[in-house]
A and B are shown apart, each in its own frame.
Chain A
Amino acid sequence: MRFANFKDDEELLKSYRELGRSAIDALYDLGDDGSLDFASYIEDRLNRKD
């Protein structure tokens, strides 16, 4: 799979976001400072529009 196609593939992008949200939720469940910072990092990446 080429990354150049990633953003053009709506389904794949949706899966990427869902995977990210699942990871974030799991990190919130862990709840320590390191996990929360990592969740925040993933959240920033998911929110990037470029």
Chain B
Amino acid sequence: MQGPLENAIELQETARSFRKKGDALRKVGREEAAMEAYRSGLTALNEALGLLKAKDDMLRAASPPLPSDAAPDLRELIEIYGALGGMYQRLDALDKSLVSYLAGAGLEERFGLPSTYNRLNAVKYSLLTGPDPLQSFEARIQALADSIDASLRADKSVSDRGWAWADLGDCLALLGRTEEAGRAYATFIAKTEIKSPERTIDVLKEVAAKLQSKGDPDAPRLVAAIDALQTRLVAR
């Protein structure tokens, strides 16, 4: 008989499948069916989260270092919070995306994990949904960039996975370090063999548009960085 963790992993797989289904249906314009798929995915993820609730509470109450037998639960919880954020985003519930990413970010940060997916998205969705300017996040973004850079240098498996390079590119783009961001995205493309970091740049574009609408003084800098990155990546 399976335990809560194994069941949560299966539910995550089910949710991933619903997400793929939703994306495919949305792409061909079957919006209602896509939303239904995303809602089913959301149900699966919330069920998975419910199964690991006791572990979640225990981890949030525990002091680092991570208890030796808790690593698989922590890894799964972080995955679930990240997936929930993405599912809510597809359902256009950005406030709830932010809540999920913040919950995942709390765990990533508490135990000093190399994964930065939730932390970076917590910054992006704070920018998308909140009133604070880009400048107020600079220290956090810089710390994230430093953390990713350190993980990439220390752990070949992190470097090989590719997504860390996309996260680094995002951080550097948000910091206005366009040349370095371009190099990070180029490495991401080479590692993952995809044509372009389209989705991650789309989110950055949304952030830039939001900053522009708020009259953020750093908005033109981010827009210019995105333009330069797109030109550079298309020209490859």
Contact = CB atoms under 8 A, between A and B. Distances in A.
Interface residues of A, number: 11
Residue with the greatest number of chain A CB neighbours at <10 A, chosen from B20, B27, B28, B30: B20
Interface in A1-50: 21, 24-25, 28-29, 31-33, 35-36, 39
B190 interface: no
B24 A36 contact: yes
B28 A28 contact: no
Dominant secondary structure of chain B at its interface with chain A: helix
A25 B28 contact: no
A16 B168 CA distance: 40
B25 interface: yes
A24 B24 CA distance: 11
A35 B13 CA distance: 20
A28 B24 contact: yes
Dominant secondary structure of chain A at its interface with chain B: helix
Contacts of A25: 17, 20
A36 B27 CA distance: 11
Nearest to A31: B24
B25 to A, nearest CB: 7
Contacts of A33: 28
Nearest to A39: B21
A31 B21 contact: no
Contacts of A36: 24-25, 28, 30
B23 interface: yes
Interface residues of B, number: 10
A44 to B, nearest CB: 13
Contacts of B20: 25, 28-29
Residue with the greatest number of chain A CB neighbours at <10 A, chosen from B17, B27, B30: B17
Nearest to B22: A28
Contacts of B17: 21, 24-25, 28
Interface in B11-34: 13, 17, 20-21, 23-25, 27-28, 30
A32 B25 CA distance: 9
A29 B27 CA distance: 11
Given A33-B28, A36-B28, A28 B21 contact: yes
Contacts of B27: 31
25 contacts: A21-B13, A21-B17, A24-B17, A24-B21, A25-B17, A25-B20, A28-B17, A28-B20, A28-B21, A28-B23, A28-B24, A29-B20, A29-B24, A31-B24, A31-B27, A31-B28, A32-B28, A33-B28, A35-B24, A36-B24, A36-B25, A36-B28, A36-B30, A39-B21, A39-B24
